[in-house]
Amino acid sequence: MMFGIILFGFFTRSFSADGVADVVLSCDLVEEGVGLGGMGGGVLFTRTPATLVLKDVPVGPDESLETLTPFVPPSVPDPELLLFETKVSSPEIPKADVLLHADCNQQEVLCEISRYSPRGLQDSSGFFMVSLSVDGVDFSTSLILQTLPVEQNPSTLVQSKLGLPLSGSGTLLTEVMFLVFSHVQSVSAPLKAKVLLNCGFRQQEVRLGEEVGVEWRLQHRGKGRKVLEMKTKLDGSEGSSVVLGQREGSSLDAALLLREGDASMTLSRLQVEDEGTYICTISVGNFHAQQVVQLLITQAPQVSLSEGKKDSNSAQTFSCHCSNYYPLDVQMEWFSLPPTASEPEPFIDQGSLTSHRQHGDGTFSLSSHLSVPSAVPPGTKITCRVSHLALDAPLQVTVEVQTPEPGIRKGVKSADDVKLHPGSKFDVQTFSSGNEKLVFMIFWTNQSDVLSRR
């Protein structure tokens, strides 16, 4: 039978002593039951109200303790209640103070508690795993709790669902034995960059002869593979560290692991295939726990504009090329700004899109073709605007329709060789007469600064 507790985001704060406070989490106990069986059968869950009290959470010097009230257990202990109580001061939970402010910041707290079986121990009835995270904050931790001995007498109550003895105040007293944490839940990085995936551990009792094992695995689109594995002894004895890296450019600092419990992994020369969910598993003695970090690869597009041939109706075709971007989703829009207007308007006909093209490095390219009627008045600015996840703001390229002169035909110089970086735009104008061609090209940034001219 498996048990779990899921917190739906309600909690209170209570004052405990100078510089520390209690965080009281309102939870649901989720018990996994028997499925319906047969085709279409699944797992059933029952929910029971529960409470988790984190005691001695550090309070910063600027925090007002006057608004915090002490946690008060039920006046009459009730064996039906699920009331977990644990101290988080030794070992200390990194960044646990964010729990004090999550309610004021309207941030959802997720708490999940399940039964835990330590390796090599026959009796695991008193162990639990607690997973805590706060929505919108880089805070995530997994705690291994062990129930504390309770002096029993004929009046000692036993929790009805878990079968464990309760303290005199009706709580399940526990202590933190081991924890694994991460300060980063999701990170984005461009191709060929270097990234650090954060993970670390703390434990209550350090036995120098024990071995610590760290494993990083990547899961993506239903497939998994080991990225890096390290085993070393906590005493740092010479030759005790063994590192197996299955991804070239992955590394872990053994000295930092032993000194600070830092199991963070560095990945260099990022590629598209590095994207996915990374699972950090740390094992020490009887205990092991995990943290999950999402790695997103983002590559900003390069944008260029070119002119096609006029058709039989004297319409002019323009092509906007968006290249070498990742991920796949990109938006390309065409706008026009007549000389008499103050704001650009989208073309009713947004032209046609080519099929996505994928390159050897996993990035994509896409082109949009727009046919502009000859009736469009001179001085009209035509803009291709590109939006993509890797861009802080849309990227745009603009050309201006020119007034024809006698003996001179107007056109737009091909800009296939012009590549824009995010936040830039340009105007391109070309005039030709007979066999002679006069080229006048100006590049502008978004702040209208002239970069180059020829």
Cα three-residue angle 326-331-337, rounded to 5 degrees:
140
- Do residue 274 and residue 388 come from a single domain? no
Long-range contacts of 372-379 (CB under 8 A, 24+ apart): 372/315, 372/316, 372/317, 372/318, 372/401, 373/313, 373/315, 374/313, 374/314, 374/315, 374/316, 376/336, 376/401, 377/338, 377/339, 377/401, 378/339, 378/402, 378/403, 378/404, 379/338, 379/339, 379/403
- Do residue 362 and residue 246 come from a single domain? no
- Do residue 158 and residue 87 come from a single domain? yes
pLDDT of residue 434: 38
Domain count, the chain: 3
Q: What Cα–Cα distance (Å) separates residue 371 from each residue in 136, 320, 374?
A: 45, 12, 10
- Write out the residue range of the structural domain in which residue 239 sits: 184-297
- Do residue 377 and residue 309 come from a single domain? yes
- Do residue 332 and residue 436 come from a single domain? yes
Place of tokens 């279409």: 40
CATH number of the domain enclosing 197? 2.60.40.10
Q: Could you tell me where the beta strands, DSSP code E, fall in 285-433? A: 287-297, 302-307, 316-325, 330-337, 345-346, 352-353, 357-358, 364-372, 381-388, 395-400, 409-411, 424-433
- Do residue 141 and residue 194 come from a single domain? no
Tokens, residue 278:
């990374």
- Do residue 370 and residue 278 come from a single domain? no
Cis peptide before 73 (omega within 30 of 0): no
Q: What Cα–Cα distance (Å) separates residue 199 from each residue in 138, 292, 452?
A: 12, 9, 47
**Each residue's pLDDT tens digit, 92-105:** 899 988 888 787 78
Query: Torsions phi, psi of 173, nearest 5?
Result: -80, 130
Q: What Cα–Cα distance (Å) separates residue 312 from each residue in 309, 400, 434?
A: 10, 22, 22
- Do residue 150 and residue 214 come from a single domain? no
Q: State the average pLDDT for the chain.
A: 81
- Please count the CA atoms within 13 angstroms of the CA of 161 that sit on its side-chain side: 22
Amino acid letter, 233: K
- Do residue 25 and residue 95 come from a single domain? yes
* Domain boundary residue, one of 297, 326, 359: 297
* Domain boundary residue, one of 156, 179, 202: 179
- Do residue 9 and residue 131 come from a single domain? yes
pLDDT of residue 428: 47
Burial 95-123 (b: 16+ CB within 10 A, else e): bbbbbbebbeeebebebbbeebebeeeee
* Domain boundary residue, one of 179, 213, 243: 179
**pTM score of the predicted model:** 0.80
- Do residue 230 and residue 359 come from a single domain? no
Residues of the chain with pLDDT under 50: 1-13, 15-17, 36-40, 407-419, 427-454
- Do residue 292 and residue 430 come from a single domain? no
**Each residue's pLDDT tens digit, 382-433:** 999 999 999 999 999 998 887 665 544 444 444 444 445 555 555 444 433 3
